[in-house]
Amino acid sequence: MLGKGIVLGLAETARNFFGSFFYRARLTTVQFPEERLPQIEAARNFPFLVFDGADWQQGMRCVACQICEKECPPKCILIEKSKDKKPDATGKPQFYPAVFNIDVSVCMSCQICVEVCPFDAIKMDVDFELSTYDRFGGLLWDKQRLSKSNEHYHQIHPTEAAAVDAALAAEREKLAAKARAANAPPANAAPSTSAPATAEGQA
Amino acid sequence: MSPERSANMDVEMVRAALAAAVPGCQVEIIANSRPAAQHSLLVDAEHAVAIAEFLRDDAALRLDYCSNVTGIDWPMKDGGGYLEAVYHLYSMEKKHGPLVLRLRTLDRVAAVHLPSLAPVWRSAELQEREIFDLFGIQFDGHPDLRRLLMWEGFAGHPMRRDYVEPDDYEYEPTAHETVLQKAQQHQREAER
Amino acid sequence: MTSMTTAELERQQAEMGFDDGASHLLEVSMGPQHPSTHGVFRMDVVLDGERIVKLKPVFGYLHRNHEKIAESETYLGSMPYTDRLDYLCSLTNNWGYALAVERLAGITVPERAEYLRVIVAELTRLQNHACLIGFLLQDMGASGTPLMYAFRERETILDLFESLTGARMMCNYLRFGGCRVDATPEWLRQAQQAVEAFPKFLDEYEQLLTGNEILVARTQGVGLLPKDMAVQAGITGPTLRASGINYDVRKVDGYGIYDRFAFRVPLGEHGDVFDRYMIRLLEMRESIAILRQALREIPAGPVQDARTKLRGFRPKPGEAYARIESPKGELGFYLVSDGSANPYRYRVRPPSLINLTVLEEMCLGRNVADVVVTLGSIDIVMGEVDR
């Protein structure tokens, strides 16, 4: 019968329409700005620099090795290495980035900077509301704006952050053990060096 | 339907068949040392169309499907370099391939003509237009040789290795180092 | 801007028997901002009334010279760029490129990673085909409903992609010799759920559309693509198989581990728009069959070949061509290495572009409205056409 297909199709549409009043599965939309979907843990949007402790300048993990700058596919990272060294979170003197800029408008959220970073210093944030009225300054983020605490990292990617912290703690433990072996007698050095590392790991 | 990966063609066999079928053709095997071992046949431009027709129509080969056509620019090769057109042929009927054909121009400036294989394989039509556009190879016998991706009136061929992009953008401060340098340069010039 | 000179237009009119001096032919530029042209695609169309006399596609509005960019990138650095070729199917693009590099450097892929690749590629095919049918119906004038139903299903798949790869569309998930991260058991369970729910959606979709008299009238016998023309013009993918040619790279090359899965290749008979629509529906059912097998059989193990370095990757001089069956057709990557860290030549064989070769022949003599439907049934994404 001509028109049967159309009627069947309309019945399907009606089923979905009326069903949306009764079944959550048929109502697939949310009222976005007021209502938000739960954050998916693995999501990534834009990189940030992790710092340990309370002071972002003091605890910044980045040592300005410039690997991410070289590997970044659209070349949106600009790093200038510092002239002097400052102690990092573990107290070891390291270079730090005097300038660390990322251009939001160029970054394509590919996560390659995160993958190549040997210091776990750069990670992906999940914040996606980055639009601004200022085309130049507002889209070129400097290191202060990029810095976010390790607690923030734990908040957005708990599983990944815990794994990173455990790996870092293990590495510090290994370094401490090596230092102990080098500095004979090792008896009294052990507890004092390993204590901050474990405290870090639980942060 | 052969389950094994990329049943490469026996290039020696194809070469012998070509020598018998197309008198006077010059076919050279370019070996490829990579694990995929996709060796290619360098054929002379003069007999290219006859060779292509034979490859397409021969009952044993039946390479009726030209998958990929592309250009390569070799400016550093002997004698001023040359441009190359590469054709990857498969057979939809026999389900074998790829056979890689290569054609070379005499140089990169004046003698950049090659015979078009678009009359043999229609799928080469848009791809040869793209090569003409981006590499500047003139395909003789192509039904509609115009620029494909760049606009009419565009000067130069962007995919050539020695192409220099025009410095005519509105650069803005960014973290990209070369762009930043250009932006600063433009700013200095504007201030002067 | 017109592609035809006045003299040409007049000559064509004379050929068609209009000799009263008045202009009967109308030249129309469809696009680049036409809503039905799937992005910035333009066709220079010459019309005789409603009938198409001539149609020339114009490309390049989204051209960014992807291939040139890749020459200055490392091998790894090109991977995120491949996401942006066919932006609906970033994972199959990743696979094509990874496969080419693996052929170039002789890298083996661990078993689990091969399974994960199949799973993400078939999920990609599901969401691409669902979207395509939605867009096709949108082009036909069914604005909204079919597309929204397709997007609802796509959403579940994109959520899966996000929780596995971190991104919904620009996944950047595959690496040379494996995948970037492993899938958790929880993710595999969710994927299983999504796959099991999908046939219900397909039934619903068929109920909604396949018997619909308007759809049948608009698609049957429209945009005919004969067998020999399809082969000659290098048409690939569902568009080719709708013309009745049994050629699926998954079967022919058996790349990855596709030779382990039992699935059929649906074939069309007439090569019209309706066949191309049905082929997509049938292919989705076959993809579900593959996904069920893959999710059942996926082994434990590493997902990344430990010998392949992430940084400082320099394949020895040589070249390789690899192709995969992307949802659009045969996606090929051709790489030439000169031994440095950047590819000497990087070429994408874009199925979307080459499938447009015979668009004119498919549309000649039909109405303007049929052009829109024919174009919609070919399934193009301008990110891949223009690169």
Give CA–CA dist B188/C384, Å, rounded.
39
pLDDT(A186) > 70: no
pLDDT computed for residue C215 by the predictor: 85
Q: What is the ipTM of this complex?
A: 0.85
| Closest among C282, C284, C250, C288 to C268, alpha carbons compared | C282
Q: Are C372 and C52 in contact (CB under 8 A)?
A: no
Q: Mean pLDDT score of chain A, rounded to an integer?
A: 80
Considering only CB atoms, which chain B residues are within 8 Å of C262?
A: none
Whether residue B34 and residue C232 make contact (CB cut-off 8 A), yes or no, is no
Whether residue B174 and residue A135 make contact (CB cut-off 8 A), yes or no, is no
Mean pLDDT value across residues A23-47: 85
pLDDT computed for residue C1 by the predictor: 40
pLDDT computed for residue C13 by the predictor: 63
Instruction: Strand A77-81: give its sheet, edge to edge.
Output: A77-81, A97-103, A140-141
Residues near C351 by beta carbon (within 8 Å), at least 6 away in sequence: C236, C237, C326, C328, C329, C330, C331, C384
Mind telling me how many Å the CA of B120 is from chain C's nearest CA?
Answer: 8
pLDDT computed for residue C96 by the predictor: 92
Low pLDDT (below 70) residues in chain C: 1-7, 9-10, 12-14, 16-23, 34-37
Cβ of C232 under 8 Å from any chain B Cβ?
Answer: yes
Give CA–CA dist B171/B168, Å, rounded.
9
Domain over B11-154 is classified CATH 3.40.930.10 = no
Residues near A58 by beta carbon (within 8 Å), at least 6 away in sequence: A51, A86, A87, A89
Considering only CB atoms, which chain A residues are within 8 Å of C209?
A: 9
Mind telling me how many Å the CA of C247 is from chain B's nearest CA?
Answer: 6
Q: Which residue of C has its CA nearest to A107?
A: C80
Domain range list for chain B: 11-154, 164-192
pTM check: above 0.90 = no
pLDDT(A192) > 70: no
Q: How far is CA C358 from the centre of its chain?
A: 17
What is the token pair recorded at C172? 């950047």
A9 or C110, which is more confident: C110
Mind telling me how many Å the CA of A190 is from chain C's nearest CA?
Answer: 34
Share of residues in chain A with pLDDT > 90 (%): 0
Considering only CB atoms, which chain A residues are within 8 Å of C77?
A: 71-73, 112
Cβ of C317 under 8 Å from any chain B Cβ?
Answer: yes
Q: How far is CA A95 from CA A47, A86, B66, B175, in A?
A: 21, 6, 55, 20
How many Cβ contacts (< 8 angstroms) between chains B and C?
120
Domain range list for chain A: 48-179
pLDDT(A132) > 60: yes
Q: Which residue of B has its CA nearest to C252?
A: B1
Cβ of B1 under 8 Å from any chain C Cβ?
Answer: yes
Whether residue C76 and residue A71 make contact (CB cut-off 8 A), yes or no, is yes
Q: Which residue of B has its CA nearest to A99?
A: B175
Q: Which of B172, B173, B177 sits opposite A75 (nearest CB)?
A: B177
Give CA–CA dist A203/A150, Å, rounded.
8
Domain over A48-179 is classified CATH 3.30.70.3270 = yes
Whether residue C76 and residue A40 make contact (CB cut-off 8 A), yes or no, is no
Helix (H) or strand (E) holding B127: helix B124-134
Cβ of C66 under 8 Å from any chain B Cβ?
Answer: no
Mutate which of C252, C316, C326 to disrupt the B interface (most B C-beta within 10 Å)? C252
Residues near C198 by beta carbon (within 8 Å), at least 6 away in sequence: C126, C153, C284, C288
Mind telling me how many Å the CA of A139 is from chain B's nearest CA?
Answer: 9
pLDDT computed for residue C367 by the predictor: 86
How many Cβ contacts (< 8 angstroms) between chains A and C?
77
Q: Which residue of A has its CA nearest to C208?
A: A9
Mutate which of C334, C353, C359 to disrupt the B interface (most B C-beta within 10 Å)? C334
pLDDT computed for residue A185 by the predictor: 54
Bridge partners, B139 (sequence order): B114
Q: Which residue of C has its CA nearest to A28?
A: C152
What is the token pair recorded at B153? 């009136």
Cβ of C52 under 8 Å from any chain B Cβ?
Answer: no
What is the token pair recorded at B62? 């039946």
Q: Which of B32, B68, B127 sits opposite C318 (nearest CB)?
A: B32
Q: Are A53 and A47 in contact (CB under 8 A)?
A: no
Whether residue B174 and residue A76 make contact (CB cut-off 8 A), yes or no, is yes
Whether residue C321 and residue B4 make contact (CB cut-off 8 A), yes or no, is no
Bridge partners, C331 (sequence order): C324
Considering only CB atoms, which chain A residues are within 8 Å of B178?
A: 75
Q: Which residue of B has its CA nearest to A142?
A: B175
Low pLDDT (below 50) residues in chain B: 1-6
Give CA–CA dist A75/A69, Å, rounded.
7
Whether residue C310 and residue A40 make contact (CB cut-off 8 A), yes or no, is no
pLDDT computed for residue C3 by the predictor: 53
Mind telling me how many Å the CA of B10 is from chain C's nearest CA?
Answer: 16
Q: Are B136 and B83 in contact (CB under 8 A)?
A: yes
User: Which region among A88-92, A177-181, B20-24 has the lowest average model confidence (pLDDT)?
Assistant: A88-92
Q: Which of A4-8, A127-131, C137-141, C225-229 has the highest mean pLDDT?
A: C225-229
pLDDT computed for residue C35 by the predictor: 57
Mutate which of A66, A71, A103, A146 to disrupt the B interface (most B C-beta within 10 Å)? A103
Q: Which of A74, A102, A136 sits opposite B172 (nearest CB)?
A: A136
Q: Tell me the residues of chain A between 112 and 131 that have a Cβ less than 8 Å away from chain B.
A: none
Q: How far is CA B122 from CA B64, B130, C52, C243, C357, in A?
A: 10, 14, 22, 17, 8
| Closest among C96, C121, C126 to C283, alpha carbons compared | C126
Mind telling me how many Å the CA of B20 is from chain A's nearest CA?
Answer: 50
Whether residue B175 and residue A101 make contact (CB cut-off 8 A), yes or no, is yes
Mind telling me how many Å the CA of B192 is from chain C's nearest CA?
Answer: 33
